[in-house]
Amino acid sequence: MVRYQQGDFAAATVLVRHISPRLHRFFLAKSVSRADADDLLQETWLRIHKVRHTYRHGEPALPWFYAIARHIRVDHYRKSLRVAAGERELEEISKGVAAAPHQAGELEVLLAPLSESQREVIAMLKVEGMSLEEVARAMSSSVGSVKQKVHRAYEKLRQTIGSTARRK
């Protein structure tokens, strides 16, 4: 590990070959799919490379590797929970929109408070049935940016629908 810190990439190759099978088993042991374990392993090595300067000479390297892998696995778990919660929220919202009348004029009135880009995103996702990736490509944007626009659009729609319901 010290040689790797000093820029000896042959030492890095030896580390990767020696430690990767152990880390891969570590990820698979927590009932992660093989593809996820592969991704987590790759992410772990990227993180190790970025923070290799924090390794303390003379201390065992294996626990240091596992600590990084554990943090990667926890981050992955938290992210999957957020994604699942977001998908459930989107599903609930889309059911609410599906229950509303689908006449073009009423849809335009419903979407009127949104910005043009938010209306485009909602139309592509919910009316056209496109995936987030397809919408991102169509808008020359990232998936994260599309998700953010959708989230903000839904928030604005909730506020609008909520204030309309309270007036009635």
- CATH domain 2-80 topology: Rna Polymerase Sigma Factor; Chain: A (1.10.1740)
Q: Lowest mean pLDDT: which of 27-31, 33-37, 100-104, 145-149?
A: 100-104
Please tell me if the domain spanning 2-80 has the same topology as the one spanning 100-167. Answer: no
Looking up tokens 């599906």 gives 98
Q: Lowest mean pLDDT: which of 45-59, 94-108, 133-147?
A: 94-108
Q: Are 88 and 64 in contact (CB under 8 A)?
A: no
Whether residue 106 has pLDDT greater than 90: no
pLDDT tens digits, one per residue of 117-146: 888 888 888 877 888 888 888 888 899 999
**Per-residue pLDDT at 15:** 92
Which residues are CB-contacts of 34 (< 8 A; sequence separation ≥ 6)? 28
CATH code 3.40.50.300 for 100-167: no
Residue 103, phi then psi, degrees to nearest 5: -70, 140
Give 65 or 127, the one with higher predicted confidence.
Answer: 65
> Which stretch of DSSP H or E encloses residue 120?
helix 116-122
Percent of the chain with pLDDT over 70: 87
**Per-residue pLDDT at 21:** 94
Q: Are 26 and 69 in contact (CB under 8 A)?
A: yes
> Domain-by-domain residue ranges, the chain?
2-80, 100-167
CA–CA separation, 40 vs 73, rounded Å?
7
Q: Are 40 and 54 in contact (CB under 8 A)?
A: no
Judged on CB neighbours under 10 Å (0-12, 13-18, 19+), 26 is buried
**Per-residue pLDDT at 46:** 94
Give the mean pLDDT of the chain. Answer: 83
